[in-house]
Amino acid sequence: MKRLSLLLIIILFLSCKEKFPVIEEFGNTHYNLVDQNDQKVVFPDFIKGKIVVINYIFTNCPDICPLSTNNMRLIQERIKKENIKNVQFVSISFDPKFDSPGVLRKFAGIRDLDLSNWVFLTGEKSVTDSIIKKVGVLAVPNDSTVFKNGRKIYYYVHTDRIQLIDTDVKIRKNYRGSKINIDEIIMDIKSLQ
Amino acid sequence: MKKIFLIVLLITSSSYIIMFAQQLKIHNSKIKIQNAWARPAVKNANSALYFFIENKSRETDTLLGAQSKIAEEVEVHESFIRDNDRMGMRPAGRIAIKPNSQLEFKPGGFHVMLLGLLKDLRIGDNIEAVLLFKYAGKIKIKAMVSDIPTVKETKH
């Protein structure tokens, strides 16, 4: 009986691993960032031990990033509704020159986002560039708008992505951020619990 | 001779003006804008405006642009996908609305960019904008600020 139980556990473990192959792991890499409250954060250290839903955004994006962010909110609401514990939400800006902690705080605030388990991160451009390269996200400045006062803002062609990271800080699955199937990621989060 | 020429010119130009006005009137009443909504955003940031256009006339009309007093700049853009999962935006130019057809401005597609907002757009706020059509002329619209479309999706 004991052997059978052990065998079942191994089969379950292997099937889970097959369903969620490790896409990337952070290993001993650490990144110094700041959150929306200007508090220092070492990424990914602070998320270790939690299941993480993460997306990559720039706040000047009027269409796709708000859509991805709204999907993050919908996932968060389902997590609360189904009483799933130990899930952390993270949004990292790849446009840190514009997206200061204050800008990120306002971006979250105007949308009434629940920041009890959701953090918005920014930092030095070289650091955020390293992170997005590590996780396989591309963000290239493309079009721009110049205002009458000379202010210029850029729009990026960027990977539209939400990722699922396990408790060992390994990236386990990629989703289209703007078109994610909420039921699918909820099931995946449960599988990783 | 001069008088006759002037009279002919007057009659011709008057009839053209009347025809143009009639066409404008027809289009103005045949272009319907519904279910407009805009994304929340803070002052100086950007928002996007979405809506549903219906052209009930027998003529193609063209969306030439948009205006709003709540933003420094207003541009018509479209989002595009590249290499499966990379998204970008580009100016949409003039958009033709075919006779008896519908076109939805929606997330991930056509949208009106409200750039450099002059005030915060909070969920539940109402904003105004003007859409400029080749024949229908200026059409004023009101949009509610929301993070989701204000009504159910429309079938195409």
Helix (H, G, I), strand (E, B) or coil at A18: helix
Q: State the pLDDT confidence band at B153, using cuts at 50, 70 and 90.
A: very low
| pLDDT of residue B16 exceeding 90 | no
Q: What pLDDT, on the 0 to 100 scale, is given for residue B154?
A: 41
pLDDT tens for residues B69-115? 999 999 999 999 988 888 998 889 999 999 999 999 999 999 999 99
Q: Per mean pLDDT, which range of A6-10, A103-107, A137-141, B20-24 is the poorest?
A: B20-24
- Of B72, B85, B88, which is closest to A147 when you measure between CB atoms? B72
| Residue of A64, A110, A114, A182 best to disrupt the B interface, most CBs of B under 10 A | A110
**Contact between chains at B121 and A110 (C-beta distance less than 8 A):** yes
Distances (CA, A) of A9 to A3, A4, A51, A144, A168: 10, 9, 21, 54, 19
Average pLDDT value over all residues in chain A: 92
Task: Show residues of chain B in contact with A67, CB under 8 Å.
Answer: 107-108
Give the chain B residue whose CA is nearest to the CA of A178: B108
Q: At what angle do helices A182-192 and A2-19 cross, to 10 degrees?
A: 140
Question: Which amino acid type is present at position B2?
Answer: K
Asked if A176 reaches chain B (Cβ–Cβ under 8 Å), the answer is yes
Asked if A21 reaches chain B (Cβ–Cβ under 8 Å), the answer is no
| pLDDT of residue A174 exceeding 60 | yes
Give the chain B residue whose CA is nearest to the CA of A148: B72
Q: Per mean pLDDT, which range of A80-94, A104-118, A151-165, B77-91 is the poorest?
A: B77-91
Q: Which residue has the tokens 């027998």?
A: B58
Task: Show residues of chain A in contact with B42, CB under 8 Å.
Answer: 106-107, 109-110
Contact yes or no for B114/B49 (Cβ under 8 A)? yes
Q: Measure A77 CA to nearest chain B CA, in Å.
A: 14
| pLDDT of residue B23 exceeding 90 | no
Give the chain A residue whose CA is nearest to the CA of B90: A143
| pLDDT of residue B52 exceeding 80 | yes
- Of B39, B40, B46, which is closest to A60 when you measure between CB atoms? B46
Asked if A105 reaches chain B (Cβ–Cβ under 8 Å), the answer is no
Question: Which amino acid type is present at position B65?
Answer: G
* Beta-carbon contacts of residue A161 (< 8 Å; ≥ 6 apart): A55, A56, A68, A136, A137, A174, A175, A176, A177, B85
Say how far apart CA B118 and CA B120 lie, in whole Å: 7
**Contact between chains at A106 and B90 (C-beta distance less than 8 A):** no
- Of A143, A145, A157, which is closest to B73 when you measure between CB atoms? A145
Q: At what angle do helices A182-192 and A64-81 cross, to 10 degrees?
A: 50
- Of A70, A138, A160, which is closest to B147 when you measure between CB atoms? A70
Average pLDDT over residues A147-164: 92
**Contact between chains at B86 and A109 (C-beta distance less than 8 A):** no
pLDDT tens for residues A28-69? 899 999 999 999 999 999 999 999 999 999 999 989 999 999
The interface predicted TM-score (ipTM) is: 0.80
pTM exceeds cut of 0.90:
no
pLDDT tens for residues B112-150? 999 999 999 999 999 999 999 999 999 999 999 998 776
Q: What pLDDT, on the 0 to 100 scale, is given for residue A144?
A: 85
% of chain A residues with pLDDT over 70: 91
| Residue of A23, A36, A63 best to disrupt the B interface, most CBs of B under 10 A | A63
Give the chain A residue whose CA is nearest to the CA of B48: A62
pLDDT higher for A105 or B1? A105
pLDDT tens for residues A114-136? 999 999 999 999 999 999 999 99
